[in-house]
Structure 1
Amino acid sequence: MEDRFIYQMEPWIGKEERDAVCAYLESGGWLTEYRYTRMFEKMIADYTGASFASVVSNGTVSLFAALMACGIGPGDEVIVPDFTMIATANAVRWIGATPVLVDIEEKTLCLDLEKAEAAITPRTRAIMVVALNGRAPDMAALTSLCQAHGLWIIEDAAQALGARQKGRHLGTFGHIGSFSFSAPKIITTGQGGALITNDADLYDQIVKIRDFGREKPGMDIHIALGYNMKFTDLQAVVGIEQMKKLPERVERKKQMFARYRSNLADVPGVQFIETNPEDTPPWFIDILVDDRESLAAYLKEHGIGTRPFYPPIHTQVPYRGAPGEFPVTERLAAKGLWLPSSLFLTDDDIDRICEHIREFYHRGTRLAFQV
Structure 2
Amino acid sequence: MSAEEFIPQMRPLFGEEEKAELADYLTEDGFFTEFKRTELFEQQIAHYTGARHCIVVNNGTVSLTLAAIALGVGPGDEVIVPNYTMIASPNSVKMLGAVPVFVDVEPETLVMDIEKARAAITPKTKALMLVSANGRAPQVGIAAFQQLCSERGIALIEDSAQSLGSFYAPDQHVGRAGAIGSFSFSAPKIISTGQGGALITDDDSLADKLRRLKDFGRRSGGTDIHDSVGYNFKFTELQACVGIAQMKKLPERVVRKKVIWQRYAEGLAGIPEFKLFEHDLKLCTPWFIDSLAQRRDELAAHLKAAGIGTRTMYPPINQQKAYDQAGSYPVSELVGRDGLWLPSMIQLTDAQIKRICVEIRRFYGR
Aligned residues between the structures: 362
The more displaced of 181-190 and 272-281 is 272-281
Give the corresponding residue for 2:151. Answer: 148
Give the letter for the 1:8 counterpart. Q
- CA distance in 2 between counterparts of 1:265 and 1:68 reads 46
Between the aligned partners of 2:229 and 2:327, the Cα distance in structure 1 is 35
1:355 aligns with 2:358: yes
Q: Which runs of 5+ in 1 are unaligned?
A: 364-371
Partners of 1:166 and 1:36 lie apart in 2 by 30
2: CA distance between counterparts of 1:59 and 1:92?
13
Task: Please report how far the alpha carbon of residue 126 of structure 1 lies from its aligned counterpart in structure 2 after TM superposition.
Answer: 0.5
Match of 1:208? 212
TM-score scaled by structure 2? Answer: 0.97
- The one of 318, 327, 336 equivalent to 1:333 is 336
* In structure 1, C-alpha distance between the alignment counterparts of 2:79 and 2:353, rounded to whole Å: 40
Q: How does 1:49-198 map to 2 (within 5 A)?
A: 49-137=50-138, 138-167=141-170, 168-198=172-202
Alpha-carbon distance in structure 2 between the residues aligned to 1:268 and 1:317: 33
Deviation at 1:116, TM superposition (A): 0.1
CA contact (8 A) 2:314 2:335 kept: no
Q: Give 1:248's match in structure 2, choosing from 249, 252, 255.
A: 252
The residue type paired with residue 50 of structure 1 is A
1:109-143 alpha-carbon deviations (Å, 9 max, x no partner): 11000000000000001000001111121211100
| C-alpha distance in 2 between matches for 1:333 and 1:104 | 12
1:320-342 alpha-carbon deviations (Å, 9 max, x no partner): 02x54211211122111000000
SS in 2 for 1:88: helix
Q: Is the 8 A contact 1:178 1:195 kept in 2?
A: yes
- Given that residues 8 and 306 in structure 1 are in contact (C-alpha distance below 8 angstroms), is that contact kept between their aligned partners in structure 2? yes
Task: Give, in angstroms, the shift of residue 27 of structure 1.
Answer: 2.1
Runs (4+) of structure 1 moved beyond 3 Å? none
Aligned-partner residue type, residue 16 of structure 2: K
Alpha-carbon contact 1:101-1:324 (below 8 Å) kept: no
1:248 partner amino acid: E
Deviation per residue, 1:277-324 (Å, 9 max, x gap): 101111000111111100000000010000000111001112102x54
**Identity across aligned pairs (percent)?**
54
Task: Give the unaligned 5+ runs of structure 2.
Answer: none
SS of the aligned residue for 1:22 comes to helix
For residues 22 and 221 of structure 2, what CA distance do their matches in structure 1 show? Answer: 24
How far apart in 2 are the matches of 1:154 and 1:95? Answer: 15
For residues 324-366 of structure 1, what are the alpha-carbon distances to aligned partners after superposition, in whole Å with 9 as ceiling and x for unaligned? 4211211122111000000111111111111111111116xxx
Q: How does 1:268-347 map to 2 (within 5 A)?
A: 268-321=272-325, 323-347=326-350
**3-state SS, counterpart of residue 192 of structure 2:** coil
Q: Which residue of 1 aligns with 2:15?
A: 14
Separation of aligned partners in 1, 2:293 and 2:148: 33
Aligned equivalents of 1:319 and 1:185: distance in 2?
A: 26
Q: Is the 8 A contact 1:80 1:89 kept in 2?
A: yes
Give secondary structure in 2 for the equivalent of 1:260. Answer: helix
Whether 2:47 is the aligned partner of 1:46: answer yes
- Cα deviation code 1:248-268 (max 9, x no counterpart): 000100000000001101223
Secondary structure of the residue aligned to 2:290 is strand
Q: SS state of the match for residue 214, structure 1?
A: coil
2:241 match: secondary structure: helix
Query: Aligned equivalents of 2:254 and 2:295: distance in 1?
Result: 30
Deviation at 1:28, TM superposition (A): 1.3
Q: CA RMSD, aligned part only?
A: 0.9
Alignment TM-score, normalising by the size of structure 1: 0.96
Contact 1:268 1:361 in 2 (8 A): no
For each residue in 1:162-199, what CA deviation from the matched residue of structure 2 results, as whole angstroms up to 9, or x when unmatched?
01112221000000000000000000000000000000
SS of 2:322's equivalent in the other structure is helix
1:362 is paired with a residue of what secondary structure?
coil
Structure 1 SS opposite 2:149: helix
